[in-house]
Structure 1
Amino acid sequence: MKEMLARNISIYRKERGLTQEELARRLGLSFQAVSKWENAQSMPDVALLPELSRTLQVSIDKLLGYALQEKSITIYEEEYQSGNYYWGTEPNAACYEVLKAMPPVKRLKLLDIGCGEGKDAVFFARNGYDVSAFDVTDAGIGKTKRLAEQAGVQVNVFKADILDYRLNAHYDILYSSGVLHYIKPDFREDIFDNYKRFTSPNGMHCFNVFVDKPFIAPPPEKEPYAYKWHSGELLSHYRDWYIEDSSEIVFDCNSSGIPHQHAMSTIIAKKVAALSSL
């Protein structure tokens, strides 16, 4: 719990735009006390939690890691309530790139980040990967479980918010499609460092992000918690990895019933072990 609380204090402090000194001043403490909290060297006194919660504008439960999301952060929570699969059940084309790049000739642990209704996670499980997946929507998690049951496969699916969740176990493959725009720019370096650290040697990331282009109109879906990426930004997180693919496309979309376009950057990168110095 100490490590989770430390991380959450740091995350929500930065989200509120506060320095350690400013948070300490509001709580009547020294900034060294806040620094020790965020480095997991100590924990706040229980009597401080209500004021800390109010200052950081987050519940005590969520601060301690027990609550997930108190309000909807994606427009798709409501869409997933229907009986139909909003995105269909056919896997994303990127799934086949994973199969080609790292076929499951041995046990490979794969994490689907923001699995939605589970079509890609279930595809990977059907093809022999050891699959875990998370999403922030209860409806999406429920649909993922049902789709896995129908396919007769096991997917370890759980609820998590991409902004809050950090890996604490290693995976061979990290995969995410159409989700990373929910990561605020200020948190991207921290989150990607965590993803890379908990990727096994010779493991792989297969990610895509929507990128902002001045010649493409904004999408009709109004997502208040989506944040723009720029061309080359995703690639910049992998300067120390082997790049198998870093492409960008513009494609037509009709997901909302209104024809529109998206620009998307893709990265397929492998964590190649560094050469030891002589």
Structure 2
Amino acid sequence: MTQSDFDHWQERFAGEEYRFGTAPNAFLKSQAHLLRKGHTALAIADGEGRNGVFLAEQGLDVLSLDFSPNAQEKARKLAQERGVTLRVEQADVINWSYPPNTFDVVAAIFFQFATPPERETIFTGIKRTLKPGGLLLLEGYTPKQLEYKTGGPSKIENLYTREILEQAFADFSSLDIRFYEAVINEGLGHGGMSALIDVVGVK
């Protein structure tokens, strides 16, 4: 990412309030029954930590990755307030190393700032860093989100279709992809009727 990208995210996460709230993403929360205490989890583009902290609250050993020190300062604060341990690493999620066979769970919630080539790099990293049998929990917006304008990118090529996700994770042992529309309420950043796509995948 460029300096202008860095400045954009730093500005976005400046201030006391949590841009996307402090509650976990609803889809991630709905999959809590799949999580196991003691497992390792990677939360990519975790921002102010709402999802990483939730995973830690379920008893997982969590690494929260994000580009913005402002966001991560709030993530640490949220973890402290909730009484959990959260490992935090400042990183460009596009160019991070994604060490092989390291994590039991990867949470990839709304990181649609990535262009198609960048997205391909991240998806490759996710597949590499998940252990065999590891769990992918991914949520994003579909192209219909451009009609709602309630969050997410304005570029259609950054949005997910079933074909993009089936192709990216074709080698997984199982892949459950669901499309739906729902009202979400995630702080100032995401609010209102939204066109969503969820993935529960097992490597």
**Shift, 1:239, TM fit:** 1.6
C-alpha distance in structure 1 between counterparts of 2:50 and 2:106, whole Å? 16
1:229 aligns with 2:159: yes
Counterparts in 2 of 1:73 and 1:218: CA distance versus 1, 3 Å = farther
C-alpha contact (below 8 Å) 1:209/1:234 kept by paired residues: no
Partner of 1:217: 147
Gaps of 5+ in 2: none
1:241 aligns with 2:172: yes
Letter paired with 1:191 = I
Residue 110 of structure 1 pairs with residue 110 of structure 2 = no
Q: Report the alpha carbon displacement of residue 96 of structure 1 after superposing the two structures with TM.
A: 2.8
Q: Deviations over 1:187-219 (max 9, x none)?
A: 333332221122111111001121112x85262
TM-score by length of 1: 0.63
Partner of 1:134: 65
Look up the match of 1:152.
83
Q: Which runs of 4 or more aligned residues in structure 1 lie more than 6 Å from their structure 2 counterparts after TM superposition? A: none
The answer to whether the 8 A contact 1:111-1:133 is kept is: yes
Determine if contact 1:173/1:204 at 8 Å carries over to the other structure: yes
Q: Normalising by the residue count of structure 2, what TM-score does the alignment of the two structures yield? A: 0.83
Q: Which residue of 2 aligns with 1:89?
A: 22
Could you list the runs of 5+ residues in structure 1 that have no partner in the other structure? 1-67, 272-278
More strand by share: 2
Is the Cα contact below 8 Å between 1:122 and 1:153 reproduced in 2? Answer: yes
Q: Distance in 2 between matches of 1:191 and 1:222?
A: 18
From 193, 207, 213, the equivalent of 2:138 is 207
Contact kept, 8 Å, 1:111 with 1:175, in 2: the verdict is yes
Q: Whose RCO is larger (CA < 8 A, sep 6+)?
A: 2
Distance (Å, rounded) in 2 between the aligned partners of 1:155 and 1:146:
10
Task: Supply the distance in 1 between the matched residues of 2:31 and 2:7 (Cα, whole angstroms).
Answer: 26
Between Structure 1 and Structure 2, how many residues are aligned?
200
Matches within 5 A, 1:1-278: 69-72=2-5, 77-104=10-37, 107-169=38-100, 170-179=102-111, 181-213=112-144, 216-217=146-147, 219=149, 227-232=157-162, 233-243=164-174, 245-252=176-183, 256=188, 261-271=193-203
CA drift at 1:95: 2.6
Q: 1:69 to 1:216 in 2, by over 3 A?
A: closer
- Aligned partner of residue 3 in structure 2, secondary structure: coil
